[in-house]
């Protein structure tokens, strides 16, 4: 999709193009007061422009990027793509699997341990609350606006369908922001629009650190799996970390997400098969592996299952950090929507992905914690004893590699686009293009390898990422993006009661993000210091036990 529009400030975004290929669909739309888009026919039928848009051009020419081999595409981010790789090749299915796999690859493995820390019921509630926050309060906003509109009349049909339709923009601020600012490719671009140079640098650093740290956790996850599968730990863990890093470089060097999306299906099937195998294994085994290791070989064993648990501040914040990490693929969505053929289907795809994630996380967390109790492991695949542990990790290796691939790819592409944006080398596939691309991939993976070697314990790294960087890329930016597009340039006279409530809600989310950053980082550091299983950097110790 390309955009030919005039923003309310009069600045044009992109240029019109005429793609050729399998199909060519053109839809003229105009932004409505609610932030959605009406067709020209709807406008002729009576749809009105907001008062502050009157007399200003705000038309969007939306064109679907062709799927064939013969194509000439101009994109607001990548420019002309006539002879180079097609960066606009991700369909709805590909977007769904990339979003889901980016989340479920590592996050699900820490959920049962979270339930042990805070209890089963608080764990499920925290999963739901953070899912709604990351989705930009979709359900909360829909229910609240439905309540506020109840007195306006129109019956139950207006109450239900009206609120849900108007609040689809709550599903993901990224979708609206990308439509309004098609030149954005990641959170740092949004930071430049919202906060100038300071905003751009802050969110650039947060985005890059997040992608690199998540990739580092992917390397740790792969090394843990290889340790679990290897017989008698005959190879040093540091060697497994290096092997994982090399595999990550080879996979992430694929240039477009469209070509990586099929790997997403492989990874998603792999991780689902692994966790389903784990669920069945813990249900039929006599006792978890950790119970046997602690001397409960026969007879009764203390499961110590807790519906609620009086967790310490460090335990509670560590749990929140881990759950936030499980939903923390949000910053990858900018790159995904930028490479989608039709970004208009982004919101529905993202919401469906988040609903599936919450269902999977809750189910796996409840079942594994119920059968393992206080002897649950992190990553959760270690809860299956002996042979089943090896089988679960063996099945999960492709999924862990795909997660490493996606995040390393996006980290490398951040630098790649920043270096070559505006030049012909971004898409021409020449010598400069390839040298720059492979250098970015290698640089990102080397940094990830160093971090993975320095903190080779999976759970500790997950908690630290979720607290230190997670809020700055999963909560805070989107409150500022909403403020920029829905409040900053609005006349006070045009701000409805609902907009004011949304403004207060976004302030609350902003404060929550700051609190998790501070308190969560403290808890993560305390946990790392107090962890009896922590190892030294570049250690040969088995990190799968």
Q: CB under 8 Å to 87, separation ≥6 — which residues?
A: 75, 77, 78, 81, 256, 257, 258, 338, 339, 427
Domain count across the chain: 1
- Does residue 481 belong to any structural domain of this protein? yes
- Tens digit of each residue's pLDDT (9 = 90 or more) over 385-398: 778 888 988 999 99
- Does residue 232 belong to any structural domain of this protein? yes
27-30 long-range contacts, Cβ below 8 Å, gap at least 24?
A: 27/61, 27/62, 27/63, 28/59, 28/60, 28/61, 28/62, 29/59, 29/60, 29/62, 30/58, 30/59, 30/60
- Does residue 2 belong to any structural domain of this protein? no
CA 484 from centroid of its chain's CA atoms: 22
Residue 115 token pair? 């339930």
- Does residue 97 belong to any structural domain of this protein? yes
- Tens digit of each residue's pLDDT (9 = 90 or more) over 498-533: 889 889 988 988 998 898 888 888 887 887 777 666
- Does residue 153 belong to any structural domain of this protein? no
Cis link prior to 379 (omega < 30° from 0)? yes
Q: Does pLDDT of 427 surpass 50?
A: yes
Chain position carrying tokens 């959920």: 111
- Tens digit of each residue's pLDDT (9 = 90 or more) over 316-353: 888 888 888 788 788 888 888 888 888 888 888 888 88
The residue that leads in pLDDT, 515 or 87, is: 515
- Does residue 407 belong to any structural domain of this protein? yes
Confidence band of 45 (pLDDT split at 50, 70, 90): very low
Q: To 10 degrees, what angle do helices 257-284 and 386-420 make?
A: 160
CATH of the domain at 237: 1.20.1740.10
Confidence band of 176 (pLDDT split at 50, 70, 90): confident
How far is the CA of 490 from the CAs of 29, 137, 407, 499, in angstroms?
21, 22, 36, 10
Structural domain that includes position 85: 73-136+171-530
pTM attached to this predicted model: 0.72
- Tens digit of each residue's pLDDT (9 = 90 or more) over 59-75: 334 445 554 444 455 66
- Does residue 46 belong to any structural domain of this protein? no
Report pLDDT for 529: 77
- Does residue 350 belong to any structural domain of this protein? yes
Q: Does pLDDT of 440 surpass 90?
A: yes
């Amino acid at each position: 999709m390309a955009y030919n529009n005039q923003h309310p400030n009069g600045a044009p975004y992109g240029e019109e193009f005429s793609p050729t290929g399998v199909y060519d669909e053109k839809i003229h739309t105009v932004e409505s007061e609610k932030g959605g888009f009406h067709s020209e026919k709807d406008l002729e039928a009576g749809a009105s422009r907001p008062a502050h848009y009157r007399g200003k051009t705000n038309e969007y020419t939306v064109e679907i990027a062709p799927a064939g081999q013969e194509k000439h595409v101009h994109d607001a981010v990548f420019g002309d793509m006539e002879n180079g790789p097609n960066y606009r090749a991700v369909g709805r299915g590909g977007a769904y699997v990339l979003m889901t796999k980016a989340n479920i690859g590592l996050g699900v493995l820490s959920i049962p341990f979270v339930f042990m820390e805070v209890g089963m019921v608080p764990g499920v509630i925290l999963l739901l609350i953070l899912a709604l926050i990351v989705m930009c309060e979709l359900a909360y906003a829909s229910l609240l606006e439905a309540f506020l509109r109840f007195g306006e009349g129109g019956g139950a049909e207006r109450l239900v369908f009206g609120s849900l339709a108007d609040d689809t923009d709550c599903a993901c601020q990224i979708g609206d922001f990308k439509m309004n600012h098609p030149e954005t490719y990641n959170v740092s671009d949004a930071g430049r629009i919202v906060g100038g140079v300071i905003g751009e640098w802050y969110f650039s650093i947060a985005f890059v650190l997040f992608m690199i740290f998540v990739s580092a956790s992917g390397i740790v996850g792969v090394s843990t799996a290889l340790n679990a599968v290897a017989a008698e730990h005959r190879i040093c863990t540091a060697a497994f970390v290096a092997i994982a890093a090399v595999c990550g470089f080879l996979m992430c060097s694929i240039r477009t997400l469209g070509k990586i999306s099929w790997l997403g299906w492989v990874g998603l099937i792999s991780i689902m098969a692994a966790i389903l195998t784990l669920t069945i294994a813990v249900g039929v085994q006599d006792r978890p592996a950790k119970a046997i290791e602690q001397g409960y070989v026969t007879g009764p064993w203390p499961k110590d299952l807790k519906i609620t648990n009086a967790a310490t501040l460090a335990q509670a914040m560590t749990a929140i950090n881990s759950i936030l990490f499980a939903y923390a693929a949000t910053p990858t969505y900018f790159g995904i929507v930028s490479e989608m053929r039709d970004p208009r289907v982004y919101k529905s795809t993202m919401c469906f992905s988040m609903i599936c994630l919450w269902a999977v996380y809750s189910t796996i967390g409840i079942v594994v914690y119920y059968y393992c109790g206080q002897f649950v492991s992190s990553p959760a695949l270690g809860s299956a004893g002996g042979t089943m542990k090896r089988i679960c990790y063996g099945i999960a290796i492709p999924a862990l590699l795909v997660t490493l691939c996606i995040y390393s790819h996006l980290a490398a592409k951040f630098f790649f686009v920043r270096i070559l944006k505006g030049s012909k080398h971004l898409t021409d596939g020449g010598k400069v293009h390839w040298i720059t691309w492979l250098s970015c991939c290698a640089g990102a993976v080397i940094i990830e390898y160093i971090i993975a070697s320095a903190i080779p314990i999976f759970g500790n790294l997950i908690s630290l990422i979720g607290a230190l960087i997670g809020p700055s890329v999963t909560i805070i930016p989107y409150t500022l993006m909403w403020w920029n597009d829905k409040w900053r340039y609005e006349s006070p006279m045009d701000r409805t009661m609902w907009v004011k409530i949304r403004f207060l809600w976004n302030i609350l989310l902003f404060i929550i993000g700051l609190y998790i950053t501070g308190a969560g980082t403290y808890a993560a550091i305390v946990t790392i210091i107090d962890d009896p299983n922590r190892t030294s950097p570049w250690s040969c110790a088995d990190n799968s036990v």
